[in-house]
Amino acid sequence: MNKLAIPSPVITTIPIHGSEEVFPVRRVYCIGRNYADHVIEMGNDPKESPIFFQKNTDNVDTSGKFPYPPQSNDVHHELELVMALKSGGSNISEVDAYKHIYGFAVGLDMTRRDLQAVAKKGGKPWEVGKAFERSAPMGTLTRIEESGNMDSGKITLTVNGDVKQDGDLNQIIWKIPRMIAHLSTFYDITAGDIVMTGTPAGVGPVVKGDKLVGTIDKLSPLEVIVI
């Protein structure tokens, strides 16, 4: 390989429960509109298909701190189940989907809702609303051997101790095998890819000083302070 002209960019990693190893992140896929009650609260039709978008790999942050980003006055929390893939392919069948999963984590899809709304209205891309610095706070990964398939279980977010989002993974519209199968019709999904699987109802704004605690049954909780 040729000598690098500048220092190599840092690889983004996620800690793994009970392990000294860390999980290297390649891509961050996100699914929107995947819980009917959240689709309705955003004014959309739950009969329409969920949608896909991406965040940048280096938006993933495991520091437990979320710096309030510039260019927005309406940053929202979206608590999500995150799956991490140990292998992949294209045109994966739903039957084969689970064998590509390494594990699961609790994540937050932080969103500049005001910028997203402007983009939506203008039929423009969502990146400025979704893919910004440290916009994907992430907890510790639990291997699927420990967590099981995560097709049901409580998913809850508190802000300063008050319950704001409270759902169940069994409310997900496109189940995990379908998400993987469908994504793999558009992309060559690969080891290191993570998928943020959508948020239940109750999204809302955060302000500096807020303490967010996200919990999903069987997974390590995620605690994040807004700074």
Positions in the binding site for Mn ion (CB under 5 A) = 78, 109, 199
Of 158 and 165, which CB lies nearer to Mn ion in the complex structure? 165
Residue (of 95, 104, 50, 73) closest to 215 by Cα position: 104
Report the nearest approach of Mn ion to the CB of residue 201 (Å).
Answer: 12
Residue 40 Cβ, how far from Mn ion at the closest point, in Å? 15
Q: How far is the CB of 32 from Mn ion (least distance, A)?
A: 5
Per DSSP, the three-state class of 102 is strand
Could you tell me which of 79, 71, 66, 83 has the C-alpha nearest to residue 109?
79
Please say which residue, 61 or 78, places its beta carbon nearer to Mn ion: 78
Quick one: 11 or 118, whose CB is closer to Mn ion?
A: 118
Alpha helices in the chain (DSSP H): 36-41, 113-121, 127-130, 144-147, 176-186
In the complex, least distance from residue 21 CB atom to Mn ion, rounded to whole angstroms: 28
Give the up-direction half-sphere exposure of residue 63: CA atoms within 13 A in the CB hemisphere: 14
| CB of 22 or CB of 36, closer to Mn ion | 36
Tokens encoding 60 = 């993933």
